[in-house]
Amino acid sequence: MYDVLNPERIVIGEKTKIGKEIAELFKKNTLKKNIPVLYTNTKEAESIKLFSNSYLALRVAFFNEIDNYFIIENLSTQEIIDGVCLDSRIGSHYNNPSFGYGGYCLPKDTKQLEHIFIDKPSSIIGSITKSNDIRTSFITKKIVELKPKIVGIYLLDSKKNADNFKSSSILEIIKKLQQNDIQMIIYDPNISFEIFKGVKVIKDFSDFCIQSEVIVTNRMGKELEVVRDKVFTRDIYQNN
């Protein structure tokens, strides 16, 4: 709802009078003023969405690959990312390492764009989804190397304050941990299942912390601070 009321731009895939009328309806029902409006044909409008989301996914994948390197070389991920992002051409948005991108749009749109480019000259587009798969495999490997008896999965959301866990990277981590015969439990007050993806769901947070030898979370929560020594995360900046 926030995005709908505060858009950065409005792209209308229709150049006729009807398109302008639709744009005015959108502008009328937003809180922001002077919103840039772009009129295109339908195919161009769809492409703008696909390329925008794929670029964001590419940026997430880029910083995750940097983090892979820093983990292996035992370097400070935060110090290096801070230095890289001080370059105004790069900036400090979408730079927080994670277990991989997820959610409603990025996985779907990157795969769609990859399919569109299957017979086109390119190498970057197809590498985005591959990089995301490599990241989840790398994170899984690092968890397995800890040799935990029980891994606790803290929240299934792809980011903080999300209202769903569709295509969340943590789901891929769960699947790959299962393939490595790692015993798990899940804590997520937003789900009502007793068993999810073959994993027992623990309703009590204290009980969850006691049972978990390692707590895996894509994004840190304040309540985890009391068991910080058990937490495995790549959340450096503790933002989305």
Catalytic residues: 105
At 133, list the tokens: 């798969």
Q: Nearest-CA neighbor of 2 among 163, 141, 138?
A: 163
Q: How far is Cα 217 from Cα 219, in angstroms, rounded to an integer?
A: 5
Dihedral sign computed on CA atoms, order 226, 232, 237, 238: negative
The length of the chain is: 240
The whole-angstrom separation of Cα 2 and Cα 156 is: 22
Residue type at position 210 = I
* 99 burial via Cβ count (<10 Å: 0-12, 13-18, 19+): buried
Closest CA to 177 of 169, 187, 188: 169
Name the burial class of residue 142, with classes exposed (0-12), middle (13-18) and buried (19+) by CB atoms within 10 angstroms of its CB.
middle
